[in-house]
C-alpha cells in the first residue's frame, strides 16, 4: 500500500517578483462550439523582485478560455506567453497557465468603467509561470517552479510570483 502520509512533506516559497502587465484591448471571440475564448495582447510592463527586475516587452499575450462554474461564476484558464528583458540585458521567455474564478457581480464590475478597482479578495487569479533563458546569469530560473496570485488593474493585471523551494 502506498504511503499517503503528508507529514514532513511541506512546500515553502520565496518571493520571486511582482509583474505588472499592461494589456491592450481584450478581444472576445465569443462562444464557439468548444469554448469561449478571449485574446489580450501585452503592450508592455515591468517586473521587480529580489533577484531580477526589468521590462515586460510588448508583443506577448494571453489566450484564456472560460466557462461557467459554481453559482454562475466565470471559471477560466490562462495560456500566456511573453518576453522579459532584465535591467542588465538578459532575455527571459515566460509562459504561464493558471485558473480564474470571477463571480457574476465582479464580472459586471469589471465591465463597468466607473469601477476601475474591484477588491481582489472578491475573485481569484492564480498562475503557474515557467521561465526559460539562455543567459548564464539567470540559468537558475530554468529550474524554478513558481506559483502566483494576481489582481486586475486598469489597463492590465499584476501577478505576485513565488518560487517554490
Calpha distance 67→29 (Å, rounded): 13
pLDDT of residue 54: 98
Question: What residue ranges define each of the domains in the chain, with the CATH number in brackets?
Answer: 13-164 (2.40.160.20)
Q: Are 99 and 78 in contact (CB under 8 A)?
A: yes
Give the residue carrying C-alpha cell 469561449: 36
pLDDT of residue 57: 98
pLDDT of residue 34: 80
| Whether residue 113 has pLDDT greater than 80 | no
DSSP 155: T
What are residue 157's DSSP bridge partners? Answer: 21, 152
Of 51, 54, 19, which is closest to residue 161 (Cα–Cα)?
Answer: 19
pLDDT one-digit tens code per residue, 57-66: 999 999 999 8
Backbone angles phi, psi at 13, to 5 degrees: -140, 165
Calpha distance 152→86 (Å, rounded): 23
Calpha distance 99→109 (Å, rounded): 19
Position 35 confidence tier, pLDDT thresholds 50, 70, 90: confident
Of 125, 105, 164, which is closest to residue 40 (Cα–Cα)?
Answer: 125
Amino acid at each position: 500500500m502506498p504511503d499517503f502520509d503528508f507529514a514532513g512533506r511541506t512546500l515553502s516559497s520565496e518571493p520571486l517578483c511582482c509583474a505588472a502587465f499592461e494589456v491592450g484591448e481584450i478581444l472576445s471571440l465569443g462562444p464557439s462550439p468548444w469554448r469561449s475564448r478571449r485574446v489580450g495582447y501585452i503592450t508592455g510592463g515591468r517586473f521587480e523582485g529580489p533577484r531580477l527586475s526589468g521590462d515586460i516587452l510588448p508583443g506577448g499575450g494571453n489566450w484564456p478560455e472560460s466557462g461557467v462554474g459554481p453559482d454562475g461564476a466565470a471559471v477560466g484558464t490562462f495560456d500566456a506567453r511573453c518576453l522579459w528583458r532584465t535591467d542588465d540585458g538578459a532575455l527571459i521567455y515566460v509562459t504561464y497557465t493558471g485558473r480564474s474564478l470571477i463571480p457574476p457581480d465582479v464580472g459586471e464590475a469589471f465591465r463597468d468603467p466607473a469601477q476601475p478597482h474591484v477588491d481582489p479578495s472578491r475573485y481569484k487569479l492564480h498562475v503557474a509561470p515557467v521561465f526559460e533563458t539562455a543567459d548564464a546569469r539567470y540559468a537558475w530560473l530554468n529550474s524554478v517552479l513558481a506559483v502566483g496570485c494576481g489582481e486586475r488593474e486598469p489597463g492590465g493585471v499584476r501577478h505576485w510570483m513565488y518560487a517554490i523551494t
